[in-house]
Amino acid sequence: MKLINKQYIVDENNKKIAVQMPIETFNKIEEILENHALFHLMKDNNGEDLLEFDDAQKYYDQLVKEA
């Protein structure tokens, strides 16, 4: 298992308040989360109008831009 290269940012009491990581790692995590959410939206559709994967990705990208 590959660990995430990260550094913690702490406050004056040495309490962890944030994490710093390479942008490539953040982008990969964000992509994985978006794909996971998209998969579940598609899976949980309950027989409503279905979109092909490419069309669903375009629709999802549009929703993200509007958010």
Residues 10-62: pLDDT tens digits? Answer: 999 999 999 999 999 999 999 999 889 888 877 776 666 777 888 888 888 88
Q: Provide the pLDDT for residue 14.
A: 97
Q: Provide the pLDDT for residue 41.
A: 77
pTM: predicted TM-score of the whole model, two decimal places: 0.58
Distances (CA, A) of 44 to 5, 41, 48, 50, 63: 34, 5, 9, 11, 18
Q: % helix / strand / coil in the chain, to the nearest 5? A: 50, 15, 35
Selection from 25, 39, 30, 40 nearest residue 64 by Cα: 30
Q: Is the dihedral of CA 6, 11, 15, 18 positive or negative?
A: negative
